[in-house]
Structure 1
């Protein structure tokens, strides 16, 4: 299993890095062609697309992964259920599109919503493909598919933007990316939808999956509620600055934390009847994920101004403070994700749902407070919420896995302490009277040297483990 996890992490990480790197480069090119208003409008539409996407991509795939002996009948059954859901959800969005346009006082949104929502049935199919990949830990197969789809869809998006079609460049890019990756996986994978359906097989999967769907929907709804309210109360450009500041920490979260979560979930599910083994795997994962992600997030917070100016030009300078707050929030997000993967893997989707129901009133209160002040205040209150929700997500595993709060803090504290020290040093380097590119390079080098040096001096277990594992490979 250790070999499978390492191999899975290697290929999933490469897939994430390659696709996100391509997407990142494409987004920089598009950001130079398109306006903040274009991105703001797409962000408004994605509020509804993301909510709809939950019903077709969340829960059911996780149920297939969590079930030890899931077979072709299970996969085909869930495929048909997901596709039916996706068509129903698409029709709903099709009919409410004019009301969405009226809400934002922009009649052009009607056709954009209807076209962009076409990706939902494709996403439903792709979600089952992704579940099969995770279940069999065939992450190598998805590496080329994702990279190729990102490149082709990105190039087409740039061409459409260059031709002057504005917001449609983003719409075409999103839909084409889903189409290409689904086709590529269809060619590579052994599993294809079959004319098989079993309600007796589907019922227990739905019993587990609907709680994951509900949990994801609640989380997505409140996250998108932030965008919806920001778009209503402030200008599309201000919303775009917030979203652009959020993109950089999201990039790290999707590449590293997303990779760890994707590989960890099916691995833990193999041992979900041995709770002591699950605890051991979670402790190791938490130490390693915080050791990797925390310095990157705190480092990005310290270098946010050079990053924005060098990559996006000074027209996006207003994104800097948003990026700083949201990077720090992202540093704590990995703790929540690791704990939630453990809860999900042992089959306690009910606990995840209860957690969301408890956390979201706090989220709403903090969001409303931030909205009454400013867009920047929203970023600050989201940082507060992330820290609070992290503590809440750590709580259930004290009983479920006997993973005490004190143990979790001891596993997190080394990486957090070293990251804070590194942050203070790197942030102070912005005072140097040098060209921005030179400052940025110095910050990166100094940050890496300080963090690795402290890890060696204090003999961090995560550093020694990673170093020995890499050297063996």
Structure 2
């Protein structure tokens, strides 16, 4: 697998994320104006359980197919049936538990919403195997097409139902139809179809790797969703909506860049896992590039959060600003975690993924218990602390697996961190000037970009030169 194939995959995956997030971004802006924070709060509560249940349908099954270098038709069909069985089982569990969940939140409407929303699980089981097939082939252009069409169509459905005053069901229909359309479009595009083949040997081999990834993902999601669960339990639905809205913008950027790198990087790394020196080289390049791209975006977004929310979502969403600022800083460090985890996963050490979660989560729980007794903002602040702690913990395995030492990792991370902090300070100074809201925001963005690129050019920072060189090659060709 050469660099051309990798960058082609990166290009299409990045475009997929950009198109999906931009469409969702504008759809959510429209829906935020049509729906109430209470509607978003109810869906956020329900989505916690769907998000957790989705782990058993997606995580581990498709990952094992990607990690195995010579996975064949038998492997794909076997894992498909395993995934489908699990999805039906998990849906049944969610269906039965829906009344108890409703009682926990003292909200009878949650029962039907949860049961309908959970219908996406069996569809996701099929979609997950399709995604694995595309990743193995590095044919991310197909995912770009399916995701873009699905996001557009589901967004139109959500907006239409919101205009028709369907409230929370507009959001449910949007999420559910998105998974459905994505699966249908991929079904048309790719040749893979499940066959009447099932191998116990294949299932045992793949699941021995996949179940550890699944449990690590489940623990990660469970504890991350505890924030939403506890905010929804001890505070109002509006407070939960403000918190989740504060996450939207940082996640928008993080998903565009970090998820793109991780998704394309994993199959690429998996093909190079036999050579630890080569795997280390790829990991270092990914670490430098991801932090170079993510950190300035996160620090810059934290500074311009208030005018951005005022301009796009109106003053009724201003309580989201401090949450957004904290979560931007937390996401700036999470890219360090993601890069290290991809290298560990590609090396075949799925057992370490689970061990790392068991080490990190007690600290997460302690911080959350302390913060929930204070207020919602304290929860957001603890996310910064935990994100830095998690990054340090996730560095350790690769100091042994690929000899990527702490010193090397810190030296790779430090330049973009310092440049981003300087850029953020300059942008903050601009915000102190008295000028119209839109003009101030545009000026902050332009000066932020110019400052960061100027720093990169002045210090001849390697990822800047590497990316500029690649862009020149593309333009020349």
Tell me the residue number matched to 1:452. Answer: 453
Q: C-alpha distance in 2, partners of 1:71/1:20?
A: 33
**Is residue 71 of structure 1 aligned with residue 72 of structure 2?**
yes
**Is residue 44 of structure 1 aligned with residue 51 of structure 2?**
no
Q: C-alpha distance in 2, partners of 1:324/1:288?
A: 23
Unaligned runs of 5+ residues in structure 2 are none
Tell me the residue number matched to 1:340. Answer: 341
Tell me the residue number matched to 1:120. Answer: 121
**Alpha-carbon deviations, 1:356-386, whole Å to 9, x = none?**
0000000000011111110000000111000
Q: C-alpha distance in 1, partners of 2:200/2:273?
A: 25
Q: How does 1:172-321 map to 2 (within 5 A)?
A: 172-321=173-322
**Alpha-carbon deviations, 1:380-416, whole Å to 9, x = none?**
0111000101000011100111000000011111111
Q: Secondary structure at the match of 1:396?
A: helix
Tell me the residue number matched to 2:403. Answer: 402
Q: C-alpha distance in 1, partners of 2:372/2:383?
A: 11
Q: Secondary structure at the match of 1:395?
A: helix
Q: C-alpha distance in 1, partners of 2:196/2:253?
A: 40
Deviation at 1:201, TM superposition (A): 1.1
Q: C-alpha distance in 1, partners of 2:429/2:185?
A: 47
Q: C-alpha distance in 1, partners of 2:53/2:96?
A: 13
Q: TM-score, normalised by structure 2?
A: 0.99
Q: Secondary structure at the match of 1:373?
A: coil
Tell me the residue number matched to 2:365. Answer: 364
Q: How does 1:11-160 map to 2 (within 5 A)?
A: 11-160=12-161
**Is residue 388 of structure 1 aligned with residue 386 of structure 2?**
no
Tell me the residue number matched to 2:356. Answer: 355
**Alpha-carbon deviations, 1:125-169, whole Å to 9, x = none?**
101111111111000111111101100100110000110010000
**Alpha-carbon deviations, 1:18-73, whole Å to 9, x = none?**
11110111000000000111111111111111111100010111100000000011
Q: Secondary structure at the match of 1:402?
A: coil
How many residues are treated as equivalent by the alignment? 473
Deviation at 1:103, TM superposition (A): 0.7
Deviation at 1:86, TM superposition (A): 0.2
Q: Secondary structure at the match of 1:105?
A: coil
Deviation at 1:322, TM superposition (A): 0.4
**Alpha-carbon deviations, 1:213-241, whole Å to 9, x = none?**
00000011111111111100000000111
Q: TM-score, normalised by structure 1?
A: 0.99
